């Protein structure tokens, strides 16, 4: 996620409050959520230090999150409307679609679940949210059923500020990714995902520790019990994979343009092309709509 405003009628890309906090994992965008995950980590620390017998399940290192921000299930969840991912989803889900209320139906709901409403959903967005509007459209007319409120699950509900238009949303979302605000803070997210806050004490302090089976280099060959070994291998395949750690010191911030350079480039932009979005840069440059 780059933005946090999926509910209002207007979006201001020049305002920092419209964006998620890149220095924090998606699950703790609200400070009130931090306590729960810290307590979970402390509880698992105590369990790991408790004496145990050899016939118990293989003990795992403590973690804040038992699920992951990206895995095969997450990709299929978001791509379910678009073949061939539909068939892959059905294979993953025992030949049936998910419960309608759990099916990807609203971007605002997905944000709320990942950022503060759910203690188990920590999904991030996938790259297709920045270039493929077709993932939001039920062009094949699949029957996903009706939610508990009676609404049929059909096309994905998108923010009012993009007029519920998939192509317009993708263009705006991509501009948010390329915005000055994100550029200035992206190094903080890189520290969490690829850098020095990915593992070790810094990860603990950043509330950024995931299930150990998601980290690079897990070795199941030392587990003698076949059932336990297969269980670990299944977790490795399905939980998702944290990227290999690339650097162990803070990533430097991006050098933003000088006021003169920014002013010169501003001449290429069209002023306020969409009335519901401020700060949008529409103009004559590569990738411009």
pLDDT in tens, 201-215: 999 999 999 999 999
Q: Tokens 């700060």, residue?
A: 279
What kind of fold does domain 11-252 have according to CATH? Answer: Neurobeachin; Chain: A, domain 1 (1.10.1540)
Residue 68: cis peptide before it, omega within 30 degrees of 0: no
CA distance 161 to 138: 21
Q: What is the pLDDT of residue 54?
A: 55
Query: Average of pLDDT values for 116-133?
Result: 95
Query: Average of pLDDT values for 97-120?
Result: 95
DSSP letter for 68, please.
-
Which is more confident, 231 or 110? 110
* pTM (predicted TM-score): 0.89
Token output for 51: 């004496």
Q: Tokens 């539909």, residue?
A: 86
CA distance 282 to 272: 8
Q: What is the pLDDT of residue 89?
A: 96
Token output for 126: 């996938």
* Banded pLDDT at 146 (limits 50, 70, 90): very high
Q: What is the pLDDT of residue 268?
A: 54
């Amino acid at each position: 996620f780059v933005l946090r405003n999926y509910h209002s009628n207007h979006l201001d890309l020049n305002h920092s409050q419209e964006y998620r906090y890149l220095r924090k994992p998606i699950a703790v965008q609200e400070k009130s959520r931090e306590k729960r995950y810290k307590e979970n980590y402390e509880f698992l620390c105590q369990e790991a230090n408790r004496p145990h017998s050899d016939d118990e399940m293989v003990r795992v290192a403590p973690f804040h999150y038992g699920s992951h921000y990206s895995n095969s299930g997450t990709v299929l969840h978001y791509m379910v409307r678009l073949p061939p991912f539909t068939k892959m989803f059905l294979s993953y889900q025992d030949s049936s679609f998910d419960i309608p209320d759990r099916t990807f139906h609203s971007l605002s709901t997905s944000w709320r679940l990942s950022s503060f409403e759910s203690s188990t959903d920590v999904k991030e967005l996938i790259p297709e949210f920045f270039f493929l509007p077709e993932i939001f459209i039920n062009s094949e007319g699949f029957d996903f059923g009706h939610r508990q409120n009676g609404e049929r699950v059909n096309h994905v509900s998108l923010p009012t500020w993009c007029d519920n238009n998939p192509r317009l949303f993708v263009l705006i979302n991509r501009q948010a990714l390329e915005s000055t605000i994100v550029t200035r803070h992206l190094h903080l997210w890189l520290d969490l995902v690829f850098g020095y806050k990915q593992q070790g004490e810094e990860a603990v302090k950043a509330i950024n520790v995931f299930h150990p089976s998601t980290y690079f280099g897990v070795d199941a060959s030392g587990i003698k019990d076949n059932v336990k070994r297969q269980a670990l291998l299944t977790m490795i395949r399905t939980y998702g994979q944290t990227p290999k750690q690339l650097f162990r010191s803070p990533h430097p911030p991006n050098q933003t343009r000088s006021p003169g350079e920014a002013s010169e480039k501003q001449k290429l932009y069209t002023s306020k092309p969409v009335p519901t979005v401020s700060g949008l840069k529409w103009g004559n440059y590569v990738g411009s709509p």
